[in-house]
């Protein structure tokens, strides 16, 4: 009969104070995506923890960002990848305005929930596994830690190395925060940003109006067409998020552009929506106006495949073995790098970080009691997925 006295959970709970202190320290190392040296400082701090576990890390340079932190054990078996990111959305100096504080069992701090709490969970899952194998040399199971520097702004600069590292693994576990309340994420929407531009003809709005070709008006017509591609029943949404154009009221504008956020549950739907917008290039109502479409970074969806279902089943079994409440799953509209693993056909599970709330918001916080529980859950799940019998 599972109880809360499971050795792994007991070990993790006995380190609750350590976990809180480490989270406070990591939050104090501000690491916005736009500050490579700050992200590197966090990477070096986490690497010290990994090296002490027999998982020496390497810092892989990334153009335009901080480094990737990758650490791998020595094994001839495919590893379980523990995925996460080092960067946050918060600017340097946020800590001065909003210092870390602990209140009512919650730690409040910029980047605590998304996702430095997940890094703490990851590290203590590994620490508990290393402790149970005391006396052995090296790390006891095949794992790869992969922490990225630009997840919040787009992974294109390192996508190839990330997918290559994923491809050699047996499964991928992402330590992004849990859904508030503790559910893990077995479905995520894919996303991309499309920029739609119109290039017309400038003219004086009073003296030469007829010679002009108004780029703003043409763009507006085509944006209505783009918005009409939204299909809520299928989970496809196109949101016109920004619009820019013109120079002054008395000039017929010759340029205008808009950014369109596209979300989708299935890869084929994402492609269909993007192709629909690209066809608008041929729909100009004025031959003098040229329409262009530019694609931005593309995140595939995390689809609930058989591999994802199997990984969730293993996690639910681990939670039951620990005596924790029944683990729930959820679908969400946000994108994450776990989706690339699922798109490669790997067993993938997202949201293994701590419980809390307020990602990207001023009330961002972690429920401290969830740190040891999620660390114990991750440790048992890694053991299940790393076992030779767990791989088809």
What's the predicted TM-score (pTM) here? 0.89
Q: Round to whole Å and give the CA distance between 66 and 384.
A: 33
Q: With contact defined as beta carbons under 8 Å apart, do 226 and 259 qualify?
A: no
CA dihedral 116, 381, 383, 347 (to 10 degrees): -100
pLDDT tens, the chain, 392 aa long? 445 469 999 999 999 999 999 999 999 999 999 999 999 999 999 999 999 999 999 999 999 999 999 999 877 789 999 999 999 999 999 999 999 999 999 999 999 999 999 999 999 999 999 998 766 667 889 999 999 999 998 899 999 999 999 999 999 999 999 999 999 999 999 999 999 999 999 999 999 999 999 999 999 999 999 999 999 999 999 999 999 999 999 999 999 999 999 999 999 999 999 999 999 999 999 999 999 999 998 899 999 999 999 999 999 999 999 999 999 999 998 889 999 999 999 999 999 999 999 999 999 999 999 999 999 999 999 999 997 655 44
- Which residues touch 231 (CB under 8 Å, ≥6 apart)? 269
Which one, of 121, 142, 82, 141, lies nearest residue 337 by Cα? 82
What phi, psi does 258 have (nearest 5°)? Answer: -140, 150
Tell me how far CA of residue 142 lies from CA of 71, 145, 155, 383, in angstroms. Answer: 11, 10, 25, 9
Which long-range contacts (C-beta less than 8 Å, at least 24 apart) are formed by 40-48? 40/66, 40/67, 42/66, 42/86, 43/67, 43/69, 43/86, 43/147, 43/149, 46/86, 46/119, 46/123, 46/147, 47/71
* All domains in the chain, ordered by first residue: 7-188+301-390 (3.40.630.10), 190-299 (3.30.70.360)
């Amino acid at each position: 009969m599972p109880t809360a006295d499971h050795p792994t959970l007991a070990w993790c709970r006995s380190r609750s104070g350590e976990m809180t202190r480490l989270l406070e320290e990591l939050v104090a190392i501000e690491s916005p995506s736009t500050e490579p040296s700050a992200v590197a400082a966090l990477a070096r701090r986490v690497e010290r923890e990994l090296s002490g576990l027999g998982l020496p890390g390497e810092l892989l340079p990334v153009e335009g960002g901080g480094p990737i932190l990758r650490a791998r054990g020595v094994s001839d078996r495919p590893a379980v990848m523990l995925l996460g990111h080092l960067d946050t959305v918060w600017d340097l100096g946020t800590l001065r305005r909003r210092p870390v504080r602990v209140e009512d069992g919650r730690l409040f701090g910029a980047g605590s929930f998304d996702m430095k709490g997940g890094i703490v969970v990851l590290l203590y899952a590994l620490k508990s596994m290393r402790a149970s194998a005391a006396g052995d040399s090296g790390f006891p199971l095949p794992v790869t830690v992969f922490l990225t520097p630009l997840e919040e702004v787009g992974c294109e600069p390192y996508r190839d190395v990330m997918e290559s590292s994923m491809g050699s693994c047996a499964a991928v576990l992402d330590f992004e925060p849990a859904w508030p309340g503790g559910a893990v994420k077995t479905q995520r929407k894919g996303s991309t940003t499309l920029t739609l531009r119109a290039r017309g003809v400038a003219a004086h709005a009073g003296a030469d109006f007829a010679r002009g070709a108004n780029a703003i008006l043409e763009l507006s017509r085509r944006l209505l067409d783009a918005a009409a591609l939204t299909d809520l029943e299928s989970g496809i949404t196109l949101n016109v998020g920004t619009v820019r154009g013109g120079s002054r009221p008395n000039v017929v504008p010759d340029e205008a552009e808009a950014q369109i956020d596209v979300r989708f549950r299935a890869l084929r739907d994402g492609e269909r929506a993007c192709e629909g917008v690209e066809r608008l290039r041929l729909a100009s109502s004025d031959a003098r106006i040229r329409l262009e479409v530019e694609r931005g970074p593309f995140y595939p969806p995390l689809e609930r495949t058989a591999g994802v279902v199997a990984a969730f089943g293993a996690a639910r079994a681990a939670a039951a073995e620990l005596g924790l409440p029944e683990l729930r799953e959820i679908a969400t509209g946000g994108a994450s790098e776990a989706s690339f693993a699922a798109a490669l056909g790997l067993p993938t599970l997202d949201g293994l970080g701590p419980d809390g709330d307020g990602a990207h918001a001023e009330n961002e916080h972690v429920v401290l009691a969830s740190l040891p529980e999620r660390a114990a859950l991750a440790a048992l799940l890694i053991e299940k997925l790393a076992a030779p019998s767990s791989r088809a």
